[in-house]
């Protein structure tokens, strides 16, 4: 303690988190190398929500149970909620998801929380029309429409291309919006043989 004369033994663990490429920060001189090596005993990578979309419905239901309150109309999710949640890019990751579910619990006016109660910007883009539920949409060129009825790999591919299209092909901005590293975007484009086509966006 400040002003104390006796040493006090502590048993503590330091957990440091970041959403940046910390090794690149060290190379650029933006983060102290000695501090990095002191902290980097056991390194864990927690993928962003867009990298693990199957976790989204589970987390959403956890937050739903957390924020349900007696006297509020909301009791459960409507049938299309999972599709809407999994189609969102979640740049704010789990914290954004929690806030969205809490807001929906507060604003819903019926027992089932509907997509409109989520107030996500993408909701209008993914309205469950018959064509999209069938897995296709008019003019769908693989840049974001038609998520419904697709595999997770197809959804991921479409989400990356849609975000690249919105950012004018800027991979750094795309990575920031999707909450992943630029390296992840590059690897995914190579994995899906999209590197050349994406460069022309």
| Sequence-ordered list of residues with C-beta below 8 angstroms from that of 125, at least 6 positions apart, any chain | 144, 145
Per-residue tokens: 6: 């006796």
Which pLDDT score is estimated for 144? 40
Question: Could you read off the pLDDT tens digit of each residue along the chain, which spans 201 residues?
Answer: 788 889 889 898 889 988 788 889 999 999 999 999 999 998 888 888 888 888 999 999 999 999 888 777 888 998 888 888 888 888 888 989 999 999 888 888 888 888 888 887 644 344 443 333 333 333 343 434 444 555 667 777 878 888 888 788 888 888 877 777 888 888 888 887 765 555 544
CA 120, CA 130: separation in Å to the nearest integer? Answer: 21
What is the three-state SS of the chain?
A: CCCCCCCCCCCCCCCCCCCCCHHHHHHHCCCCHHHHHHHCCCCCCCCCHHHCCCHHHHHHHHHHHHHCCCCCCCCEECCCHHHHHHHCCCCCHHHHHHHHHHHHHHHCCCCEECHHHCCCHHHCCCCCCHHHHCCCCCCCCCCCCCCCCCCHHHHHHHHHHHHHHHCCCCHHHHHHHHCCCHHHHHHHHHHCCCHHHHHCC
Which pLDDT score is estimated for 195? 58
Kindly list the distances between the CA atom of residue 27 and the CA atoms of 22, 31, 32, 59, 135, in Å, as whole numbers in the listed order: 9, 8, 9, 35, 45
Phi-psi region of 4 (alpha: psi -120 to 50; beta: other; left: phi over 0): beta
Angle of CA points 122, 123, 129, to nearest 5°:
120
Which pLDDT score is estimated for 117? 84
How many Cβ atoms are within 10 Å of 117's Cβ, its own excluded?
23
Contact 75, 68 (CB under 8 A): yes
């Amino acid at each position: 303690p400040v002003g104390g004369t006796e040493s006090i033994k502590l048993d503590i663990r330091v957990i440091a988190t970041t959403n940046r490429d910390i090794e690149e920060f060290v190379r650029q001189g933006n983060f102290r190398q000695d501090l990095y090596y002191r902290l980097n005993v056991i390194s864990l990578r927690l993928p962003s929500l867009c990298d693990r979309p199957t976790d989204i419905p589970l987390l959403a239901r956890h937050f739903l149970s957390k924020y349900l309150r007696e006297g509020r109309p909301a009791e459960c999710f409507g049938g299309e909620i999972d599709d809407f949640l999994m189609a969102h890019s979640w740049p704010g990751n789990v914290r954004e998801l929690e806030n969205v579910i809490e807001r929906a619990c507060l604003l819903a006016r019926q027992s089932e929380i509907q997509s409109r109660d989520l107030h996500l910007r993408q909701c209008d883009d993914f309205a469950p029309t018959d064509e999209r539920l069938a897995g296709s949409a008019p003019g769908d060129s693989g840049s974001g429409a038609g998520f419904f009825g697709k595999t997770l790999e197809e959804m991921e591919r479409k989400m990356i291309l849609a975000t690249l299209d919105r950012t004018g092909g800027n991979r750094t901005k795309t990575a920031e919006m999707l909450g992943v590293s630029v390296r992840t975007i590059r690897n995914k484009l190579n994995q899906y043989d999209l590197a050349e086509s994406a460069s022309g966006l």
